[in-house]
Amino acid sequence: MNHRTMRTFSSPFFLVFAGILTILGLLAYTMYKPNSVISPKVVISKDESAALKLEIENLQRQVSHLKRKMGSNLVLEKPKNSYPQIKFQNEENRKRILITGAAGFVGSHLVDKLMMAGHEVIALDNYFTGRRRNVEHWIALDNYFTGRRRNVEHWIGHPNFELVHHDVVNPYYVEVDQIYHLASPASPPHYMYNPVKTIKTNTVEVYGDPEVHPQPETYWGHVNTIGPRSCYDEGKRVAESLMVAYQKQEKVDIRIARIFNTFGPRMHMNDGRVVSNFILQALQGKDITIYGNGNQTRSFQYVSDLVDGLFALMNSNTSLPVNLGNPEEHTITDFAAIIRDLVGSGSQIVNHPKAEDDPQQRKPDIKRAGELLGWQPKISMRDGLKKTIEYFKNELANEKSGERMNEDKKNDKSVNVPE
């Protein structure tokens, strides 16, 4: 027996799983023979059967918690038929695609789309905001700084999928057909954590605090080069300059997407963005906090629309910048009220001092995307919010389950849950 097998059989996850199988076997036996005697001295009554069911539910919560705690180190092989059915692509049409930030919010959804289309994917991530459970065989590159491993774990082991733990600021050599660069952190706490790295890794969307509304691709933007957001805003602008320089100097085929505010499942609950903040505060019955007077506007698109737009842009023939966003515009105060109403919360909306250099209006002009890509958003903001709220409810329930498990461990030392 090799060391990996020994670690698997001695792991808390395996022991809990084995316990569940044992109890399930006993329960099934009693269901078929409710009055039978398991041993000469033991008879399973209805009360005992109910107790077994409760024990199974408790063990299932333990397994869920252990998966979250051990997911970064535990590798379970899946049978081939456990993956989603993907489209077959012949050698001529199948592409090998690299995605940076692949375990992050947007990157993991793009992984799913490309995998289902039958391509090979290399997923690169450093897991800073990404989650491994989010990914699909393309190459996904991520150092997990903002990514989470669980965002991509449902593709691990698939023959078309390769997950690479790597920081994109360091060289990575691989031969691929396409590269999607999505490695930059997008929330203020994350991109301000290491501003130098943000500039080095940033993606594109250049408008800053715009003075033209809505913003067409021909608008050059309005950015404070030394403000607290400068690493984010200027990082995006220099990324476009670098792309165009490579196109002119090295004849690299490029695509430039200008991505507007995006939301949906797999957002990090504590990333500090408007959508996640408002939903969490509403679900928990806390005050919904707005920075500024709330009259600033935003336009929010659902993540599946963005992924469709990125895919259409990559497979188009244009090297012009293209806005990808939903022009449905709301003030931040209205947006907070919409989320509160959808949640059914009694939260109060409160105002805090305005953040420095916070854009006062944001709305994409998407005529170019329609003309060149035939793309426009399909999911309304409200429909997208309903799906996202449901996702956050499940995340909070899982989090509470983990807290209950830790409390159980304190009260019962026989429960083996790793910290």
Q: Could you give the residue numbers annotated as active site?
A: 232
Beta carbons of 110 and 310 less than 8 angstroms apart: yes
Q: What is the 3-state secondary structure (H, E, C) of 145-167?
A: CCCCCCECECCCCCCCEEEEECC
Give, in degrees to the nearest 5, the angle at Cα 387 between 381 and 388: 80
**How long is the chain?**
419
For tokens 């989650």, the residue is: 131
Q: Which of 153, 151, 107 is nearest to 131 (CA)?
A: 151
For tokens 């931040």, the residue is: 332
Q: Where are the beta strands (DSSP E) in 168-215?
A: 178-181
Tokens of 63: 């397994």
Spatial separation of the C-alpha atoms in residues 217 and 258, rounded to whole Å: 8
Spatial separation of the C-alpha atoms in residues 267 and 109, rounded to whole Å: 11
CA dihedral 93, 99, 103, 104 (to 10 degrees): -120
DSSP-derived secondary structure letter, 263: E
All residues at 6 or more sequence positions from 197 whose CB lies less than 8 Å from its CB, including other chains: 169
Spatial separation of the C-alpha atoms in residues 226 and 232, rounded to whole Å: 11
| CA dihedral over 222, 224, 225, 231, signed as positive or negative | negative
In DSSP terms, 165 is beta-bridged to 125, 142
Tokens of 414: 């026989």
